[in-house]
Amino acid sequence: MRVLINGFGRIGRTVLRAWARAQRAQSTSCGTGPGGAGIGAAGAGWQDIDIVAVNDIAPAETCAHLFEYDSVFGPFDDGVGLGDGALIVGPHRLRLTHAPDISALDLGEIDLVMECTGKAERREDAARGLRAGARRVLISGPSAGAEITLVFGANEERLDPEHRLISNASCTTNALAPLARLIDRAWGLESGWMTTIHCYTGSQPTVDAPRGADLARARAAALSIVPTTTSAGRLLDVVLPELAGRLACAAVRVPTASVSAVDLCVMTRTPVDVATANAHLRAAGGVIGWTDRPLVSTDLRARPESVIMALRETALTAGGMLRVFGWYDNEWGFSCRMLDMAREIGRRAG
């Protein structure tokens, strides 16, 4: 599968880093969780995915520099360069273009556009890659213009070869949906509340500045804890319609640069104790990892799972409310799911 990354921001660059690292390691799709559970479908480092091109409006020198030197993940240690309209990443030579609108490009040889600009909410914008000749588009965020919204580990079986515009949902939805499905299938999820403790992102200002109607989001990101909203609740209803209306969600943005968490409290139809809950979380595998060590957010940086359950935090109230807590690297884990979903798209398309 020949892939073009459109938008070389946080997710676009992280997708390329994860892919390049996997190509070099020739390991499973994006690592191994505790206890040896492989993440994603088995394979040698997404070997069936070939990232051949990047499009971004920034100058070539900026694209190369920001890929090589990353404030969160550190320097890329396999060589980065430019030459003859290409971005050179280790042994990989990627065509580098700077079209503000990719529909102006000839993408007839591209199987999949990873739409990572963050500007694909409308179908008109999301479909630009298709108009340029690409066969399919995978959007790195929620999109009303998508034909289907998928989360690996929750509903990827709904993918159909006829789907051409696909949303990969959000990082928080990728953490929440597989966990909610696990709980519902094991004990029946009656109702619950999820709070995501989320690191700041580029949507927040570094100093106080207007940011739309949410005045709390207008405050300096690195100086305050900011209560706000999340799209995860709305997207969960789309991804797992059988749970529609059963989970409410909120977000708190915190002054850290990477790694977030889901704090989920639920009532279950079948009573469950802490030991049983943790046994299920340990056995889940796939995109759900776990740890029983006293870790903090920086310890989970660049973990490939969609969510890593902190088993020490599992608790139960006298009234039967179950509380589970999971970490997720909102950039690296989500980027791994972009690659896993791309591979699934390639397999279903034949």
What pLDDT score was predicted for residue 28?
Answer: 42
Q: What are phi and psi of 214, to 5 degrees?
A: -80, 100
Sign of CA dihedral 63, 8, 298, 32: negative
Give CA–CA dist 218/210, Å, rounded. Answer: 5
Q: Are residues 101 and 127 in the same domain?
A: yes
Q: What is the chain's alpha carbon radius of gyration, rounded to the nearest angstrom?
A: 20
Residues 156 and 207 in one domain: no
pLDDT tens per residue, the chain (350 residues)? 999 999 999 999 999 999 999 999 874 445 444 433 334 433 346 999 999 999 999 999 999 999 999 999 999 999 999 999 999 999 999 999 999 999 999 999 999 999 999 999 999 999 999 999 999 999 999 999 999 999 999 999 999 999 999 999 999 999 999 999 999 999 999 999 999 999 999 999 999 999 989 999 999 999 999 999 999 999 999 999 999 999 999 999 999 999 999 999 999 999 999 999 999 999 999 999 999 999 999 999 999 999 999 999 999 999 999 999 999 999 999 999 999 999 999 998 86
Closest Cα partner for 114 from 66, 61, 62, 167? 167
Q: Are 2 and 52 in contact (CB under 8 A)?
A: yes
Amino acid of residue 252: V
pLDDT at 30: 54
| 249 catalytic per annotation | no
Query: DSSP states of 126-162 as a string?
Result: HTHHHHTT-SEEEESS--TT-SEE--TTTTGGG--TT
Q: Are 158 and 270 in a shared domain?
A: no
Count: domains in the chain = 2
- One domain, residues 304 and 181: yes
- The pTM score is 0.94
Which amino acid appears at position 221 of this protein?
A
CA distance 224 to 248: 24
323 and 178 belong to one structural domain: yes
pLDDT of residue 27: 45
Do 206 and 342 fall within a single domain?
A: no
Q: Give residue 15's domain range.
A: 2-169+333-349
b/e burial code for range 277-310 (CB count within 10 A of at least 16 → b): bbebbbebbbbbbbbeeeeebeebbbbbbbbbbb
φ/ψ of residue 141, rounded to 5:
170, 175
Are both 237 and 270 inside the same structural domain? yes
Q: Are residues 156 and 52 in the same domain?
A: yes
Same domain (yes/no): 150, 177: no
Question: Are residues 17 and 151 located together in one domain of the fold?
Answer: yes
The alpha helices in the chain, defined as continuous H runs, are: 10-25, 60-68, 123-126, 128-131, 171-187, 232-239, 274-284, 332-349
Annotated active-site residue in 171, 199, 249, 336: 171
